[in-house]
């Protein structure tokens, strides 16, 4: 679907976009059918706002028209993917909720190494968006373990091709560093002429990225068990059934004794009773029991 | 944990007895399977076993599973279940049954359970009271209030809880004195929060400030619960206004500090609740904790809303905090919205720097704030915003420049002069935005500038020029627009077709008919829709052809247009109402409904049972648009069976459209349904000249609390409208 800025000639283009409730639901149902995600009811207002922005970008002023284009346009499929990116956009930055990042690099890494001497420690950042989270883990591991960090494999996954492309490029604007100590930024990034910062090869090669729909086929997800899975501020968008399904996937993909770290405002309450609660020194996590 | 290999798997051939035995199985999966299998069997066959399992000692899982099966049967077995209530012979079974019956609401259940609330066995009475609370039936209120006088502490405790669940305002007065009893205090505060009546605000605020430790956490949660449970936006606003008033009156010294301490640390939900109340309390002390909360994803919404109000008085403090925090884009946007309208020292630099932010929503908020200020000194930053990648930012730049230009002729000339040069800018976004400003200023030479832009190398700019040229429907533009119809870019042609459709000119019809054969389906779709404004025999024939043979979106466009060529198109549209494509059916039903007198009622009514919800919705809309009194019956019957909230909303609207007076009872009942309450309230306010007296009578007669809250909001709004109309209108507040 070709994009063109709004042809709106006066006033606020967003306020001129018609979003009938039934069409909003139809569009969200299309997303559900294609990606398996069922957005929770409380997400609807946020979705409405993001949809309006998308329509303005495309120069459309009626959600009904957009819905038909998603259904019938030759490029409707790729637009549906772009829309999913817009709706499920997870704004992130380096060292977000950093106590969890350091917990992975310090406590969890040490414990998993002790549990399997000589084995590689594998971390999955699920829903990693543009890559700030897995790179933060890589930097934290390098900070704490230096060259021994090579024994750690980090896999970052996301549904969005566009986000993964940006993650692989590893170039970030200043806003991504709003919680990063300047010394760390200077150590692991090189400034670009355009004002962005490029991640250094040592960190880049610690992280593999792949596409994975948490509710669909495994996609690029490696056929291994992980020692830690981070999935932060992703499940908040989905309804309970979708969340349960994702948590079941995490359970299956965790090694025994492996850790699941959710966002600070998230929990497994009503989702699963198969994990035990694990107190870390500065945070809490869930843990798959050892048999 | 049990492995799958050892789990007895159900194959659908198990007997009732075998399934009963599995109700208490250690595996949840097996228990769920047994519940589903038993629920599919005839209740007459399973009921004795289930009642026995319900009273079984030792295995709580079996009791829970038996209850689950009964719940799946639901209303169908209320009779046998209420007859099985026998506290004297089967005490344990009765207690378990009361738990189940609490989840099967209905008058039959209420009547059977009411006498047990005063049973001599305290556990039976407590279970019955709990059941009545779960049933949420206002008929239970007098019995529950009587329990408060019983002197039985255990039952009283349950009755307080149940009154909260029922949520009837009549309970507030009786509950408030019990706050002083430390045994009941928490239960009463929780109940008052659930009831949500405005009259509970003063005692809850008093409890908040008098708690030890202060603020009282239960009162804090209750105040939040009142607002969260409110069914309408206006109801929420009314409650919040009352809370602000009471907080200002009762807070005293130190409450802000105590709330701030809670916001700064502790459990997330408590922090959210404290942030909200702190925002209602206001004052400079609220700023640092709210700003810190703004930096956290889970609290950004709450803190942002609180800061919005505080921004009027404390923008400098908000700004100072914002510069020191790692705020998200959403957080920054909210800061800009809070401080943007106040020219505090430093705010201008803040807004200008935000215009260079990576996130477009931040740039948009900053551009909007600068546009609102309409300060000539900001002209250059607004000009820069015109070239922004985001059309939303660019639109704010346009708005700001036009506001500056509106101030005086000299300002207008200055803006026009500055923007004129931008039509040759390197950036296509800048050129397109400049065209919009020039067209709005209607400067000399604007026409020529737009003509030239029709040949711009970038489609976006050409499209903008076409939109601007076709805006006023001036037939003299036909030739220029026809040229644009040959543009290589489909979106430019789409814009041209829409513009031609607006022209009041006979020649436009021919141009549009030709566009029905454009290579782009979207141009053809637009052409079909635009032809609705140019009726003629050949237009109808062409549209019928398109509606029959085209690809779906063009069919839909043609059907929409045919709907406006009524009644000539009636027969043709009726033939499409059963089309395989639900989108075609949907468009067709809407079009048919526009037919008024000759609307095919039976066809639309039948579509209220279509398997696709959006088609049912369209059928309701069609019947509503018809305004035909005969539609009322089918619509009200559909409302009885329809469970989909969007369709229910459409049905309510349609009922109101076809017979406002008769729709009253449906609309009032719907005030108690969270998903459709806003629609019902809007319609009642819209029809206030018909409804006002009846609504006041409803209010006086006493109604359940959920309806009462919605009705209060409606009556308040009606009162406002009547006051605005003049002295004969009378007051409307309940």
State yes or no: pLDDT of B732 exceeds 50: no
pLDDT of the residue at A201: 94
Give A263's pLDDT tier (boundaries 50, 70, 90).
confident
State yes or no: pLDDT of B426 exceeds 70: yes
In chain B, the N- to C-terminal Cα span, in Å, equals 60
Q: How far apart are CA B542 and CA B540, in angstroms?
A: 5
Task: Please compute, for residue B627, the number of CA atoms within 13 A of its CA located in the half-sphere on the CB side.
Answer: 4
The separation between CA B254 and the C-alpha centre of its own chain, rounded to angstroms, equals 37
Most A-contacting residue of B61, B328, B355, B395 (CB-CB within 10 A), to test interface: B395
pLDDT of the residue at B734: 42
Q: How far apart are CA A171 and CA A272, in angstroms?
A: 37
Give B583's pLDDT tier (boundaries 50, 70, 90).
very high
pLDDT of the residue at B55: 82
Give A80's pLDDT tier (boundaries 50, 70, 90).
very high
Is residue A185 annotated as part of the catalytic site, yes or no?
Answer: no
pLDDT tens profile B256-288: 999 999 988 777 788 889 999 999 998 888 898
Nearest CA in chain B to A41: B675
pLDDT tens profile A34-45: 887 777 766 777
pLDDT of the residue at B58: 66
Threshold 0.80, pTM exceeds: no
Query: From edge to edge, which strands make up the β-sheet containing A171-172?
Result: A171-172, A197-199, A189-191
Give B733's pLDDT tier (boundaries 50, 70, 90).
very low
Q: How many CB atoms lie within 10 A of CB A24?
A: 18
State yes or no: pLDDT of B630 exceeds 80: yes
Q: Which of A33-47, A125-139, B383-397, B522-536 has the lowest mean pLDDT?
A: A33-47
pLDDT of the residue at B191: 96
Give A125's pLDDT tier (boundaries 50, 70, 90).
very high
pLDDT of the residue at A160: 86
State yes or no: pLDDT of A92 exceeds 90: no
Taking residues B128-149, report their average pLDDT. 90
pLDDT of the residue at A6: 39
3-state helix, strand, coil in chain B (%, to 5): 75, 0, 25
Interface of A with B in 164-223 (CB under 8 A): 173-175, 178-179
Per the structure block, which two tokens stand in for B344? 């505090």
Taking residues B578-593, report their average pLDDT. 91
Q: Which of A242-251, B103-112, B122-131 has the lowest mean pLDDT?
A: B103-112
Nearest to A4 among B392, B395, B459 (CB): B459
pLDDT of the residue at A175: 83
Per the structure block, which two tokens stand in for B637? 């019957």
Average pLDDT, rounded, for chain A: 87
Chain B: closest CA distance from residue A56 (Å):
7
Q: pLDDT: is B169 or B523 the higher one?
A: B523
pLDDT tens profile A207-221: 999 998 888 777 778
How does B30-60 read in b/e, with b if 16+ C-beta sit within 10 Å?
bbebbbebbbeeebeebbebbbebbbbeeee
Nearest to B467 among A7, A12, A26 (CB): A7
Within 8 A of A72 by CB-CB distance, chain B residues are 521, 551-553
- Residue A118 Rama label (left phi>0; alpha psi -120 to 50; beta): left
Is residue A288 annotated as part of the catalytic site, yes or no?
Answer: no
Nearest CA in chain B to A60: B491
Q: Which of A40, A50, A244, A274 is catalytic?
A: A50
Say whether A72 and B467 touch across the interface (CB within 8 A). Answer: no
Within 8 A of B521 by CB-CB distance, chain A residues are 72-73
DSSP state of B8: P
Q: How far apart are CA B575 and CA B565, in angstroms?
A: 16
pLDDT tens profile B463-491: 999 999 988 888 888 988 999 999 999 99
Q: How far apart are CA B208 and CA B250, in angstroms?
A: 10
Say whether A72 and B396 touch across the interface (CB within 8 A). Answer: no
The separation between CA A207 and the C-alpha centre of its own chain, rounded to angstroms, equals 14
pLDDT of the residue at A256: 92
DSSP state of A193: T
Name A169's Cβ contacts closer than 8 Å, sequence gap at least 6.
Answer: none
How does B171-182 read in b/e, with b if 16+ C-beta sit within 10 Å?
bbebbbebbeee
pLDDT of the residue at B1: 36
Q: Which of A158, A185, A227, A232 is catalytic?
A: A158
The dihedral of CA A251, A257, A261, A266: what is its sign?
positive
Nearest to B551 among A6, A72, A179 (CB): A72
pLDDT tens profile B204-250: 999 999 988 889 999 999 999 999 887 677 778 888 999 999 999 99
pLDDT tens profile B338-375: 888 777 778 888 899 899 888 888 999 999 999 999 99
> Residue holding tokens 């704010």?
B396
State yes or no: pLDDT of B655 exceeds 90: yes
Within 8 A of B296 by CB-CB distance, chain A residues are 264
pLDDT of the residue at B696: 86
Per the structure block, which two tokens stand in for B168? 């009837």
pLDDT of the residue at A267: 82
Give B460's pLDDT tier (boundaries 50, 70, 90).
very high
Q: What is the CA radius of gyration of chain A?
A: 20
State yes or no: pLDDT of B598 exceeds 80: no
Nearest to A13 among B391, B525, B551 (CB): B391
Element (H, E) at A189: strand A189-191
Within 8 A of A14 by CB-CB distance, chain B residues are 392, 395
ipTM of the complex: 0.74
Chain A: closest CA distance from residue B264 (Å):
15
Say whether B391 and A57 touch across the interface (CB within 8 A). Answer: yes
Question: Cis peptide before B215, with omega less than 30 degrees from 0?
Answer: yes
Taking residues B699-712, report their average pLDDT. 74
State yes or no: pLDDT of B3 exceeds 50: no
3-state secondary structure B252-278: CCCHHHHHHHHHHCCCHHHHHHHHHHH
pLDDT of the residue at B702: 63
Average pLDDT, rounded, for chain B: 88
pLDDT tens profile B294-320: 877 678 888 888 888 888 888 888 888
pLDDT of the residue at A42: 67
CB B99 within 8 A of CB B131: yes
């Amino acid at each position: 679907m070709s994009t063109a800025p709004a042809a709106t000639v006066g006033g606020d283009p967003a306020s001129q976009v018609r979003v009938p409730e039934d069409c909003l639901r139809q569009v969200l149902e299309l997303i559900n059918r294609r990606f398996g995600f069922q957005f929770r009811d409380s997400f609807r207002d946020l979705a409405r706002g993001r949809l309006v922005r998308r329509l303005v970008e495309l120069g459309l002023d009626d959600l009904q028209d957009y819905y038909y284009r998603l259904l019938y346009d030759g490029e409707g499929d790729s637009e549906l993917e772009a829309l999913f990116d817009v709706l499920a956009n997870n704004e992130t930055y380096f060292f977000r909720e950093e106590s969890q990042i350091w917990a992975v690099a310090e406590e969890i890494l040490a414990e998993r190494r002790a549990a399997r001497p000589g084995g590689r420690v594998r971390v999955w950042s699920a829903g990693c968006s543009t890559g700030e989270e897995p790179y933060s883990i890589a930097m934290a591991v390098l900070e704490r373990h230096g060259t021994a960090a090579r024994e750690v494999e980090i896999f970052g996954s996301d549904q969005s091709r566009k986000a993964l492309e940006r993650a692989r490029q590893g170039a970030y604007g200043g806003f991504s560093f709003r919680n990063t100590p300047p010394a760390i930024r200077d150590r692991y990034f090189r400034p670009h002429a355009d004002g962005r910062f490029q991640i250094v090869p040592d960190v880049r090669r610690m992280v593999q990225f792949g596409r994975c729909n948490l509710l669909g086929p495994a996609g690029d997800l490696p056929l291994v068990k992980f020692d830690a899975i981070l999935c932060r501020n992703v499940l908040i968008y989905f309804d309970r059934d979708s969340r349960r399904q994702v948590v079941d996937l995490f359970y299956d993909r965790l090694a025994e004794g492996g850790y699941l770290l959710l966002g600070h405002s998230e929990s497994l309450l009503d989702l699963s009773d198969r994990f035990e609660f694990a107190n870390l020194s500065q945070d809490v996590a869930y843990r798959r029991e050892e048999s | 944990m049990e492995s799958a290999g050892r789990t007895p798997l159900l194959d659908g051939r198990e007997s009732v007895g075998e399934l009963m035995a599995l109700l208490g199985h250690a595996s949840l999966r097996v228990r769920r399977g047994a519940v589903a299998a038993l629920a599919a069997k005839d209740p007459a066959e399973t009921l004795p076993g289930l009642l026995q399992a319900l009273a079984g000692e030792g295995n709580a899982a079996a009791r829970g599973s038996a209850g689950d099966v009964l719940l799946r049967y639901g209303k169908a077995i209320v009779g046998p279940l209420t007859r099985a209530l026998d506290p004297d012979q089967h005490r344990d079974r009765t207690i378990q049954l009361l738990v189940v019956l609490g989840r099967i609401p209905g008058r039959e259940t209420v009547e059977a359970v009411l006498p047990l609330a005063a049973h001599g066995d305290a556990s039976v009475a407590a279970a019955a009271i709990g059941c009545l609370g779960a049933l949420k039936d206002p008929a239970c209120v007098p019995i529950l209030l009587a329990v408060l006088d019983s002197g039985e502490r255990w039952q009283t405790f349950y009755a307080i809880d149940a009154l909260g669940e029922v949520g009837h305002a009549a309970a507030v007065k009786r509950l408030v004195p019990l706050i002083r009893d430390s045994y009941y205090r928490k239960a009463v505060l929780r109940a008052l929060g659930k009831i949500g009546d405005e009259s509970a605000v003063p005692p809850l605020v008093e409890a908040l400030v008098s708690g030890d430790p202060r603020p009282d956490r239960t009162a804090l949660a209750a105040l939040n619960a009142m607002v969260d449970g409110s069914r309408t936006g206006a109801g929420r606003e009314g409650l919040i206004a009352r809370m602000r008033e009471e907080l200002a009156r009762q807070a005293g010294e130190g409450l802000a500090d105590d709330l701030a301490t809670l916001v700064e640390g502790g459990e997330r939900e408590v922090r959210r609740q404290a942030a909200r109340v702190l925002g209602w309390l206001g004052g400079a002390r609220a700023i640092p904790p709210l700003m810190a909360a703004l930096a956290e994803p889970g609290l950004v919404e709450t803190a942002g809303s609180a800061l919005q109000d505080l921004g009027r008085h404390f923008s400098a403090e908000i700004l100072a905090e914002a510069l020191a925090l790692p705020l998200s884009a959403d957080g920054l946007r909210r800061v800009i919205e809070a401080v943007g309208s106040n020219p505090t020292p430093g705010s201008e630099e803040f807004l200008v720097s935000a215009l260079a932010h990576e996130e477009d929503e931040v740039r948009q908020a900053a551009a909007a704030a600068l546009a609102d200020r309409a300060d000539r000194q900001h002209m250059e930053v607004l000009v820069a915003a015109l070239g922004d990648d985001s059309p939303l930012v660019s639109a704010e730049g346009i708005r700001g420049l036009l506001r500056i230009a509106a101030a005086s002729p000299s300002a207008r000339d200055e803006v026009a002069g500055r923007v004129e040069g931008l039509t040759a800018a390197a950036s296509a976004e800048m050129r397109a935005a400049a065209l919009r400003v020039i067209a709005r200023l209607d400067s000399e030479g604007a026409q020529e500038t737009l003509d030239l832009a029709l040949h711009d190398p970038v489609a976006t700019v050409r499209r903008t020029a076409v939109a601007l040229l076709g805006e006023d429907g001036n037939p003299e533009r036909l030739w220029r627009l026809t040229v644009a119809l040959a543009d290589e870019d489909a979106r430019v042609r789409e814009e041209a077709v829409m513009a031609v459709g607006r022209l009041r000119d006979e020649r436009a019809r021919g141009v549009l008919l030709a566009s029905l054969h454009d290579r782009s389906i979207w141009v053809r779709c637009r052409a079909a829709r635009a032809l609705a404004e140019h009726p003629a025999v050949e237009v109808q024939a062409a549209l019928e052809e398109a509606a029959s043979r085209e690809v779906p979106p063009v069919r839909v466009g043609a059907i929409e247009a045919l709907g406006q060529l009524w009644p000539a198109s009636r027969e043709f549209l009726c033939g499409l109402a059963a089309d395989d494509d639900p989108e075609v059916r949907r468009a067709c039903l809407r079009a048919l409904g526009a037919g008024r007198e000759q609307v095919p009622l039976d066809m639309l009514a039948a579509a209220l049972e279509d398997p696709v919800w959006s088609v049912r919705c369209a059928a309701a809309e069609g019947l509503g648009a018809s305004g035909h009194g005969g539609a009322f019956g089918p619509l009200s019957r559909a409302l009885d069976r329809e469970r989909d909230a969007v369709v229910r909303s459409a049905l309510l609207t349609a009922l109101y459209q076809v017979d406002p007076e008769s729709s009253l009872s449906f609309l009032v009942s719907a005030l108690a349904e969270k998903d459709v309450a806003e629609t019902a309230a809007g319609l009642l306010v819209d029809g206030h000249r018909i409804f006002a007296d009846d609504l006041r009578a409803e209010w006086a007669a006493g109604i359940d609390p959920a309806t009462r809250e919605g009705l209060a909001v409606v009556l308040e709004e009606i009162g406002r409208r009547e006051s605005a109309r003049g002295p004969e209108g009378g007051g409307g507040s309940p």
